Structure 1
Amino acid sequence: MKFKAASALAALAFASSFAHADFLDWSDTSIGYRYGTQFREPYNRQDIAKNIVNFTHADGFKYGTNYLNIDVLKSDSKDSDATETYIVYRNTLDLGKITGSSFAFGPVRGLGITSGFDWNHKNDPGYASRKQMVVLGPTVMMDVPGFLNIGVLALWESNEPNSIDRRYYYKTHPALSVTWAIPLGDTNLSFEGYLNWIAPKGKDEFGNNTATETNFDGILWYDAGVPLNWGKNKFRVGLEYQYWRNKFGNPSSVPGSLAKTPQIRAEYHF
């Protein structure tokens, strides 16, 4: 599938899902803040502090779910005081809901098709990423409290940084994507996050071989709104840890390609 065709499919899923907002089964929207001092960027040997504000929306509708997250990341002087915006959208269509048939078996609750896109813009004076990526592939939805989804996705990625005068398209490549949000018993705690294993995407725009990328991000949340009498799932605080190996496909020989980043986090739900 060509990049433009995949882009059109993702855009269609986005538009059709939100066009039926009045028919949502459930909806959750939040704003949040997180902070860490050990972020890394490729070709930068220093630990970087970042303040991050995010807007997140998730919902369920007749045939599946939507997820939208917008991060605005502000780096300190070790990353040129850069500001980055990163947008992620995912739509998962539930095949059982669409067909009226059950796809449950063993530990599996159902099967789906996931599509979506990533988009970013960073204003640093060096690389200045302008990433665009479309994703598409099957998803297995596990039968657990909360949710645990495992997807095998095809990625169509491109970039147009400062150093080149055209948009560069990487080789189409696969990824294993795991996302979860699991409550921990009857406590006010939950464990949420994602794990992306991304295969090499061929040569980068400078002719270098790319490497297998591993990005784990886990959050232990505490529902602080309950003891504050604000209501359940209104205000949460958490401890987050990100492990990112071969960041953006850069091999381990590149300084800054490995990040081990603890963070503090808080979010308010509308």
Structure 2
Amino acid sequence: MSTTKNTFKAIALPTLLPIALAAAALPAQAADWSDTSIGIRSGTQFAEPFNPDDIKKNIIDFNHVSGYKYGTNFFNIDLLLSDNKDPAGAGSSNGATEVYIVYRNTVNFEKVSGSAIKFGPVRGAGLTFGFDANTKTDAGYNSKKRMLVAGPTLMFDVPGFLDVSVLALWESNAPYSTFTKVSTPRYSYDVHPMLTAAWGIPIGSSGFSFEGFANLIASKGKDEFGNDTATETNIDMQIMYDLSGLINAQPKSFKLGFEYQYWKNKFGNNSDGPAGSGAFAKTPMIRAEYHF
């Protein structure tokens, strides 16, 4: 594992970005199906650890999901733009900017072996692997997260999809303080598990759908400053309506809806400790997305 840590430590976001784009694109070349979208969501009650203020953020995202010969491929980039309640630096009147990348590939055991794996409500099983990476410019932490993930996935027999995974997380960070002008050497947390679910379920033939994800992330041990981390709960739910039929956009799709995020002990910071209320976000949002 030391080789993995050293390799990940050396990778900067400008390097990860073209790698992630290439990884997302390769399976899509032979895709059985694909869905690519751009979207925007906005809310005024975002929160950040150690910051007591409500923060307004506009988030622009690029999302790609596809099915290929052996499974499914998922790639997402969020560009998060904060107002000045989450400043870009010490004494700055500008808001912080963050880029967050997620890549997941799930290899479906049935597609590889040719033998169905079905029992009870489960219609399939697979192995998921991938990574998260981010960079943020803000007044305090300036996150440079790098995280590898891997573990088993069950696919449930529902309209649309519901996938549940148990993933091992290998996470590290190397923050920089604009107050002290000190960079923290890249620090690797304890390997820790995450129970995660992702879903997209149409509500009959109404044009509405229930979409989202939920993560339950165990403590990752001590943080880079020697503090205990807490179990993290992040639930992001959306009710979306497909306006395609109303605006004659078919076969393309334009969706509009309401999103709500419940995020307790954000990034492992204990909301009952020094991180305070900023580590417990309860954020309503308006969301719009266009699918090509």
Which bracket does the TM-score occupy, shorter chain normalised?
over 0.9
Q: Which of 267, 272, 275 in structure 2 is aligned with 1:248?
A: 267
**Are positions 1:146 and 2:165 aligned together?**
no
Q: 1:94 to 1:17 in 2, by over 3 A?
A: farther
- Contact 1:3 / 1:156 at 8 angstroms: preserved in 2? no
Partner of 2:186 in structure 1? 167
Alignment of 1:33-112 (within 5 A): 33-80=40-87, 81-112=95-126
Task: Work out the CA distance in 2 between the residues paired with 1:93 and 1:238.
Answer: 31
Aligned partners of 1:217 and 1:242 also within 8 Å: yes
Name the residue aligned to 1:191.
Answer: 210
Taking the aligned partners of 2:24 and 2:7, their CA distance within structure 1 comes to 16
Query: Residues 7 and 260 (structure 1 numbering): CA distance in 2 closer, same or farther, change over 3 Å?
Result: farther
After TM superposition, list the pairs within 5 Å mapping 1:105-254 onto structure 2.
105-163=119-177, 164-231=183-250, 234-252=253-271, 253=273, 254=275
Q: Secondary structure at the match of 1:78?
A: coil
Instruction: Tell me the TM-score normalised to structure 2 length.
Output: 0.87
Indicate whether 1:267 and 2:289 are aligned.
yes
8 Å CA contact 1:87–1:118 kept in 2: the answer is yes
Report if aligned partners of 1:203, 1:209 keep a CA contact under 8 Å in 2: yes
Letter in 2 for 1:104: K
Verify the 8 A CA contact 2:5 2:188 in the aligned structure 1: no
Contact 1:7/1:134 (8 A) holds in 2: no
Provide Cα deviations, 1:12-43, integer angstroms capped at 9, x if missing partner. Answer: 99867743433210011111011000000000
Unaligned runs of 5+ in 2: 9-15, 88-94, 178-182
Displaced runs of 4 or more, over 2 A: 5-8, 11-22
Contact 2:45 2:282 in 1 (8 A): yes
Q: For 1:227, what is the secondary structure of its paired residue?
A: helix
Gap change, CA 1:16 and 1:43, over 3 Å in 2 = closer
Cα–Cα, structure 1 residues 184 and 76, in superposed 2: closer, same or farther, change >3 Å?
same
State the one-letter code of the partner of 2:73.
N
Counterpart in the other structure of 2:91: none
- Distance, in Å, in 1 between the alignment partners of 2:23 and 2:77 is 20
CA distance in 1 between partners of 2:232 and 2:27 (Å): 36
C-alpha distance after superposition, 1:163-217 (max 9, x if no partner): 4431010000001001000000111000000000000000001100000000000
What SS is found at the alignment partner of 1:19?
A: helix
The answer (yes or no) to whether the contact 1:14–1:116 under 8 Å persists in 2 is: no
In the alignment, residue 36 of structure 1 is paired with which amino acid? G
Displacement after TM superposition at 1:231 (Å): 1.4
Separation (CA, whole Å) in 1 of partners of 2:198 and 2:249: 28
**Residue 69 and residue 265 in structure 1: after superposition, are their counterparts in 2 closer, same or farther (change >3 A)?**
same
C-alpha distance in 2, partners of 1:267/1:160?
A: 33
Deviation, 1:69, is 0.6
Structure 1 length-normalised TM: 0.94
Over the aligned positions, Cα root-mean-square deviation in angstroms equals: 2.0
Give the distance between the partners of 2:168 and 2:232, measured in 1 at CA.
Answer: 14
